[in-house]
Structure 1
């Protein structure tokens, strides 16, 4: 048997390398699960007795994501030059959130790096599970809305024009619902008008997103409406309370001072009302007021159960444990709500479809009924 010679890999030119690096840097995403994989395996290797440099060297070869691989190589170079792990991680705030970097820094100071990494991995996993649950629950309504929109466009563009043309030959005055249906169908059946409507909707959404990012007052107004919505408001509150309690619990376990811990926890909350309430509480804690007393002033967003459990934790010195229990409770509540989310919104979707189909049916049947009455 003849052994096959391995073909030499073609070396990239300087231009190709630059293009490759550009695409990796700007178009490759680092998934949350990749970051969990990296930190979990780093923790395992350190626990097995490997040095930090050896662990980073092995992981830089194992990681498949090219962008994360580049980041790990940079971290390895930083550690080799004498920097702490947290210092090098801090150079990549878009990859590693400040909360996790501060937890690792706290572990380095106390000589408990492995323990801190374990806490970081645990929190990242829980955040990933929470986010996955929310995203999974949102797929069903989004697909339904897209399907309804597509059917509506087909109906207005192709089906209804063939029906409404029959009513134009009727001499008698058409009922109001029929006149509205004819006017809407005539307008939207023209391709240019449909394009204008779709562009207007797209422009409105783009303006909404832009204003939401740029105007803090508009964002506050929208976020205040969100937490007061009938069904979604309760879910938003549960998500923010789960994230707040989980983050604060992890930070306090990492021996980070409560003022700094509450301030960092505020950044994890996605709703601006929660974020501002926690920022204000941070300033009050500096003056000697307890966290439970601060949060009592925001009873619309922090239920009595939260403030009471925090107060008990403050008195017993086990605030991190009670916050962990709170995070488990709210995470389970979010999980249960999201699993039943399709069941919750189905009546609203059926009602919406019923109104649409019923309205069209009434508009089509009414002139026919009037004609039979005349005969």
Structure 2
């Protein structure tokens, strides 16, 4: 299987899955659906559909064709499609995937909106500090020098920083650029390490945990609804969480389930990591045989809280 670099935006994927689901639900064959979409598509979507049509005529399934685009379709999506192809519920599942992508888009928008205010505050703070250090402190420094008094350490540090900024502006700019370039390089080469530090920050840690729980439960709901076994769903869901401790928890749940324990009991082992309401909802879902619904309810609840 040749890996392709074709990528689609979330909106394009929503359109793709929605059109597919609608036409398949109306009784139109897969090839006819692809041909219809090809007439209105363009860009990467057209290339993907052309390749899909070629694969379908060669006897491949949609999931096999989409597997050539790991940058566009993650393992969760591919396995859900594969399971639905085997179960004959492709139209329903594609609708569910479309809703999942829509939820994820809305979720990202909420996170970005939530981050705008603190980011703005940080930018304003840095700007004010630069103005003070560049224009105010130098004037104060001349006053202090005439007074010839011993200054507190904090004041002396501010004077030194101000003096450095005003004396070596070019070197400072070069240093900032070098720092940014170094950070970008480290992020690309040591991404998991950098993210681990970032996710452990007090202001970020709680938010990331809520995001992870939301994504985990949403993925679990989608996977279980598609008929994927619990252990397989847990295996795939490890990829949707960001925090290391959350990945370890999901792996622990999978191991515990394989040894005969309930999901809720395994989650309880991680004291303080998962809210009690989540554990109780999972437990209720297990008792009623509707774990997929319970996971969906949890994701919606956590989505609202974030």
Name the TM-score, length of structure 2 as normaliser: 0.87
Shift of 1:278: 0.6
Q: 1:141 to 1:303 in 2, by over 3 A?
A: closer
Q: 1:117 to 1:244 in 2, by over 3 A?
A: same
Q: 1:119 to 1:171 in 2, by over 3 A?
A: closer
Dislocated runs of 4+, deviation >6 Å: none
Q: 1:156 to 1:117 in 2, by over 3 A?
A: same
Whole-angstrom CA distance in 2 between matches of 1:221 and 1:293? 29
Q: Does 1:258 align with 2:234?
A: no
Whole-angstrom CA distance in 2 between matches of 1:71 and 1:114? 19
Q: Does 1:205 align with 2:183?
A: yes
Whole-angstrom CA distance in 2 between matches of 1:154 and 1:67? 47
Q: Which residue of 2 aligns with 1:363?
A: none
Whole-angstrom CA distance in 1 between matches of 2:150 and 2:175? 26
Q: Which residue of 1 aligns with 2:58?
A: 81
Shift of 1:207: 6.3
Q: Deviation digits for residues 265-304 of structure 1, max 9, x if unmatched?
A: 1211122211121112212222222211211111221222
Q: 1:273 to 1:50 in 2, by over 3 A?
A: same
Contact 1:36 1:124 in 2 (8 A): yes
RMSD: 2.6
Q: Which residue of 2 aligns with 1:53?
A: 31
Q: Deviation digits for residues 80-119 of structure 1, max 9, x if unmatched?
A: 2110111101111110111111111111111111111111
Structure 2, unaligned runs of 5 or more: none
Match of 1:152 among 107, 129, 142: 129
Shift of 1:74: 1.4
Larger Rg: 1
Contact 1:246 1:327 in 2 (8 A): yes
Q: 1:181 to 1:214 in 2, by over 3 A?
A: closer
Q: Does 1:112 align with 2:89?
A: yes
Q: Which residue of 2 aligns with 1:130?
A: 107
Whole-angstrom CA distance in 2 between matches of 1:214 and 1:124? 24
Name the TM-score, length of structure 1 as normaliser: 0.72
Q: Which residue of 1 aligns with 2:290?
A: 318
Q: Does 1:186 align with 2:186?
A: no
Q: How does 1:1-375 map to 2 (within 5 A)?
A: 30-64=8-42, 66-168=43-145, 170-176=146-152, 177-189=154-166, 190-195=168-173, 197-199=175-177, 201-202=179-180, 205-206=183-184, 209-210=187-188, 212-213=190-191, 215=193, 223=199, 225-226=200-201, 229=202, 231-334=203-306
Structure 1, unaligned runs of 5 or more: 1-24, 335-375
SS in 1 for 2:52: helix
Contact 1:242 1:326 in 2 (8 A): yes
Contact 2:7 2:71 in 1 (8 A): no
